[in-house]
Structure 1
């Protein structure tokens, strides 16, 4: 007896996206339920490096004939021509969000697309320089049918288009009366007053005669003043916006911004931030990362005036110190905070700021490369109980076996944990083995080195590095013995496996992690992304346990894990049925047997990196590009072969053009 459609939809709401996708492949009724309208609004049909011409069976036909109607489409690095007109004829009216990124498309085809997409709400045209190069795009099309087609457009992104001008910009926004969000990141936006005087004399009407040569902030500001009541979100990242321009923008009458992104804007100053915080008190999201001129003065004003802020990014604002961070306790609604690479921050600032008391609102925290010790990590873990995302990468002195134990004890809701290059973490910390209890009942320290008090002193004749290798081997042996003898009574530590809902884990560069951790601390049914690059002690034995206990992995990075052999990759491709991205760069023991296994078992693989795998045949590595789902293969350039001491400079074999689109030679 089949479950009713409504019951299936209700049950699928509790499944993660990946599980729901796999469930949809079970039968027709499950497919329909997993693609109910409540799920479709967030689904995107992605065409990446796909051949859409008539010479091959076009993937667009699948969507034309599908019983499910998708509303969101992304075209990335593809050629869009008039050969796809039938697709726009059939599907155009259903499209709500359309993204064209790094595509080869001409003006005539683009206009035809807009004619057919009559219900667009989001339009993203990113890095399509050829489309804007002539300056004639949409000329004469701003009125009439185009205005009717874009009347529901709320979000417009023209980011990364260096040939964008005031005239081109005006044609787009004139046809979109309901615009709420505008993205001009990485555009050549000009702020110099001399250009304004040159192109816009005092007597001229700028909207009737917009410049066809430059994109000016002056013209943009006039547009925002006209639409101030509607505009809610602005993106000017990677532009030359300065304090004076931000001040002018902030003081626009009736403008009530909810989100502003000015990431990597080196000219931005405290004066502009001060004006922003004074006039735009409704802000909920603010990104000023990599704005090197921002200081404590800006952060103090942000925390004082923007009390509704939920997202704040001040990554690599190197002038910010504990004085500014201490004011973060005023942001009671803050959910996401990025203070990574702020070199002057210490534990004291964090204690007075986000850790002034128990902070239940903060869910995402990025403290990558902060100069704190392990007591700082322990404090954060104890006072931020509801974290979902935590990035501790490059906190060399802070992330130790003792501090990660506190994380595993308190952060049970984590979805993402990143500890890249924290090389003090060992198997003892990830498994919880070696933890002791003191006489007063408090938790004692983690074993970070073996107890050699019973070992008679010896003179070690090797180097310090060799001595450390010996210590690591003994530590691995002791932890393995404890794990094998594990009982409920003797187990007093906290294993990584306690974080049941973990979906992304990055422990790249943690070279003390061995097969012991993969065997006893990894059991995550929802794990999707795992980065084990430069964990050079792991072997096939650990990989075997990993792929069996974490069957949902889609992205795995094993770069420079030079102890891995073909049998490890065979285990991966056989048991990870959802695998989409596999990185094996620098695994120099792998041979053609690995490539054969990939081509046999990987039915969903999209990305493969085998650079530096010198025992692989270049011909076989190239031929693997024939896999239907694979869009990118990274491999080393085929060099001259050496036969009997002589170089054979025979040319590499000719490959099909469709395969060459997938290959990137390095």
Structure 2
């Protein structure tokens, strides 16, 4: 009996062992099947990353990810603290194509030395940013250009000093540049008569010369004549450049697609020669005229020529009327970006009429159009199915009652609306913003700066707009957030400067907005270390506190 009884036990034990070993074999097989090639990891990480900070997080996961993220790092910002480690960084990030030196606080001699050092590394740089420096580092750029011949973009904006000859130095060093930015130097020095020297930018497509006092009509004509591939130009009239000078230059660039022209004053008026030259640009899709004295004649000339405009900015312009803008928009019906900031003549009725021609509209700026109310807002989102960005700051959007506007709107959700800027609307109420939030479920940015009538309604807005990422409540002294007892997982940037926020409010915020990256609390006198402690403890991703 003992032998017969032991037999089944042995069989059961054998069976049990066989079954228990089976999962182990399956686990080994599954691990092998989950092997992902390096190429696939590169695609996945490239898809997931949103900036270089996310690459930093991924690089500490494993040695494999460390190697992959090093290869996927293409841009590097150099500051004073990183200078001693440059040789290590260049060896680590071998695929760098863009260098940003704008945060350096070095002297011109040190900048020259640094560029010579950079030129010794085997980099294939295509972009170099030297903004905010003392001046153009001539010797360093000469050495740099001899070793690194792949540069296509050079940015030198807000330099402390720039010479008239610097543009010719850059031309000789980098004749294959496609993008050049020399905008807004603090001081311009006319050190030579060089207008007869030929500029050799054979491939230049985009140039920004804003604020350069030494650029005059002759030098501008020289540039345009020798840069036949120019597509985008940004400049300022009223210094050394006149509208007639621009007109002569424009005749040399028939392929121009984008022109941004601003005026330092309203003394320089648009001339008939400029109108004729502008209307002849058959490929012009983007026209920015800022702080300029324009006319209905200019707008109607553009309309009559049928220019293929998709972007029209008339920010802070004067001299035109509703008749001119109606003529243009009724004939150029593919406008996607429209800026009529400061058009004081615009009324709700005008916007209702114009919106019928704006079926392709994506963004609109109607800041400081004081006569516009919430009726204009409704008319736009009703007639413009692609409209995602509305700026109606300093208007009267909250002055008109909601009841008088319901006939223009069926209150169905508008999921395409993502950016709403309503700063400076003193009549805006909780009822207004709650209603706007109810029809904007995908809102990502909401700017309510100096909207003094906002109180408890902001909590309801955050509850309805769960995708909101950026909220600005600066100078909203009556705003209250104590009722925010729910999560706002996607909120990244919150500005509560110059409000009455206190420690208790910060505790509520820290519990609801754990994903915050930036928090601004300028002049919030009711905040103490206790409130800041709540934020630091609960908002683990926080990168910046003001």
**Secondary structure of 1:93's aligned partner:** coil
Deviation at 1:383, TM superposition (A): 0.4
The aligned residue for residue 433 of structure 2 is 430
Q: CA deviation at 1:67?
A: 4.3
Q: Deviations over 1:98-126 (max 9, x none)?
A: 12211246443344444443211111111
State the partner residue of 2:127: 97
Seen in structure 2, the aligned counterparts of structure 1 residues 409 and 239 have a Cα distance that, compared at 3 Å, is farther
Residues 509, 163 of structure 1: alpha-carbon distance in 2 compared, 3 angstrom cutoff: closer
CA distance in 2, matches of 1:273, 1:152: 30
Contact map agreement 1:360 1:386 (CA 8 A) in 2: yes
Contact 2:426–2:450 (CA under 8 A) maintained in structure 1: yes
Secondary structure at the counterpart of residue 300 of structure 1: helix
SS in structure 2 at match of 1:234? strand
Cα 1:510–1:139 change in 2 (3 A) is closer
2:498 matches 1:557? no
Alignment of 1:510-589 (within 5 A): 510-519=451-460, 521-522=462-463, 524=465, 526-542=467-483, 545=486, 548-553=487-492, 555-562=493-500, 564-569=501-506, 572=509, 579-589=516-526
2: CA distance, partners of 1:407 / 1:502: 19
- Corresponding residue of 2:30: none
Range with greater deviation from structure 2 (520-529 or 92-101): 520-529
d(CA) in 2 for partners of 1:330 and 1:521? 40
SS of 2:80's partner is coil
TM-score, normalized by length of structure 2? 0.77
- Following superposition of structure 1 onto structure 2, how do residues 19-58 of structure 1 map, counting pairs within 5 Å? 22=54, 25-26=57-58, 27=61, 45-47=76-78, 50-52=79-81, 58=85
Deviation at 1:259, TM superposition (A): 0.9
Name the CA shift for 1:46/1:569 in 2 (closer, same or farther; >3 Å). Answer: farther
Aligned-residue Cα RMSD (Å) equals 3.9
Structure 1 residues 269 and 601: alpha-carbon distance in aligned structure 2, compared to 1, 3 A threshold: same
| Larger mean Cα displacement after TM superposition, 517-526 or 333-342 | 517-526
Q: 1:74 aligns with which of 100, 114, 123?
A: 100
2:331 and 2:498 map into 1 onto residues whose CA distance is 45
Query: 1:375 & 1:540 partners in 2: Cα distance?
Result: 29
Where does the alignment leave 5 or more consecutive residues of structure 1 unmatched? 190-214, 433-494, 610-666
Q: Deviations over 1:243-280 (max 9, x none)?
A: 3223222333x632111111235324152542233321
Partner of 1:568: helix, strand, or coil? helix
Contact 1:120 1:153 in 2 (8 A): yes
Of 183, 187, 196, the residue aligned with 2:212 is: 187
Equivalent in the alignment of 1:258: 257
Structure showing greater Rg: 2
* Distance of aligned partners of 1:32 and 1:512 in 2 relative to their CA distance in 1, 3 Å threshold: farther
CA–CA separation in structure 1 for the residues paired with 2:309 and 2:326: 16
Q: Is the 8 A contact 1:551 1:575 kept in 2?
A: no
User: CA 1:352/1:431 → structure 2, altered by over 3 Å: closer, same or farther?
Assistant: closer
Using the alignment, how far apart are the partners of 2:476 and 2:138 within structure 1? 49
Residue 139 of structure 2 aligns to a residue in which SS? helix
2:139 corresponds to 1:108? yes
Residues 431, 457 of structure 2: 8 Å contact kept: no
Q: How does 1:341-352 map to 2 (within 5 A)?
A: 341-352=342-353
State the partner residue of 2:359.
360
Distance 1:170 1:305 in 2: 34
Distance in 2 between the 1:558 and 1:580 partners? 14
**Cα deviation per residue 1:190-232 (whole Å; 9 max; x = unaligned)?**
xxxxxxxxxxxxxxxxxxxxxxxxx4321320332233x3222
Q: 1:113 to 1:529 in 2, by over 3 A?
A: farther
Matching of residues 325-336 of structure 1 within 5 Å: 325-327=325-327, 328-336=329-337
- 1:423-456 deviations in whole A, cap 9, x for unaligned? 3333333334xxxxxxxxxxxxxxxxxxxxxxxx
Q: How much has 1:569 moved relative to structure 2?
A: 3.6
Partners of 1:90 and 1:399 lie apart in 2 by: 64
Structure 2 CA distance for partners of 1:139 and 1:271, relative to 1, 3 Å: closer
Q: Aligned in 2, Cα 1:168/1:587: closer, same or farther, shift over 3 Å?
A: farther
Partner of 2:201: 176
Contact 1:335 1:364 (C-alpha < 8 Å) held by counterparts: yes
Whole-angstrom distance in 1 between the partners of 2:234 and 2:127: 18
For residues 89 and 127 of structure 1, the distance between their equivalents in structure 2, rounded to whole angstroms, comes to: 24
Q: In the alignment, what sits opposite 2:376?
A: 376
For 2:428 and 2:542, how far apart are their aligned partners in 1? 32
State the alpha-carbon separation in 1 of the partners of residues 413 and 198 from structure 2. Answer: 49
Deviation track 1:53-73 (CA, whole Å, cap 9, x = no partner) reads 76xx65x46742434633223
Contact 1:522 1:550 in 2 (8 A): no
- Shifted more, 398-407 versus 575-584: the winner is 398-407
Helix, strand or coil at the partner of 2:312: strand
SS at match of 1:79: coil
Q: Does 1:417 align with 2:443?
A: no
Change (3 A) 1:536 1:91: farther
Pick closer, same or farther for the CA change 1:262–1:4 going to 2, 3 Å: same
Give the direction of change, closer, same or farther, for the CA distance of 1:364–1:121 in structure 2 (3 Å limit): same
- Secondary structure of the residue that 2:188 maps to in structure 1? coil
Separation in structure 2 between the aligned mates of residue 279 and residue 163 of structure 1, nearest angstrom = 33
Q: Which residue of 2 aligns with 1:318?
A: 318
- The 5 Å alignment of 1:242-641 reads 242-252=242-252, 255-266=254-265, 267-291=268-292, 293-327=293-327, 328-353=329-354, 355-357=355-357, 359-370=358-369, 371-397=371-397, 402=402, 406=409, 409-432=412-435, 496=437, 499-519=440-460, 521-522=462-463, 524=465, 526-542=467-483, 545=486, 548-553=487-492, 555-562=493-500, 564-569=501-506, 572=509, 579-594=516-531, 608-609=545-546
Within the alignment, does 1:126 sit opposite 2:157 as a pair?
A: yes
Shift of 1:594: 4.7
The CA distance in 1 between the partners of 2:461 and 2:204, in whole Å, is: 53
Q: Gaps (5+ residues) in structure 2?
A: 1-33
Q: Is the 8 A contact 1:277 1:306 kept in 2?
A: no
- 2:420 is paired with a residue whose SS is strand
> Matched residues in 2 for 1:408 and 1:174: separation?
58
Deviates more, 1:503-512 or 1:360-369: 503-512
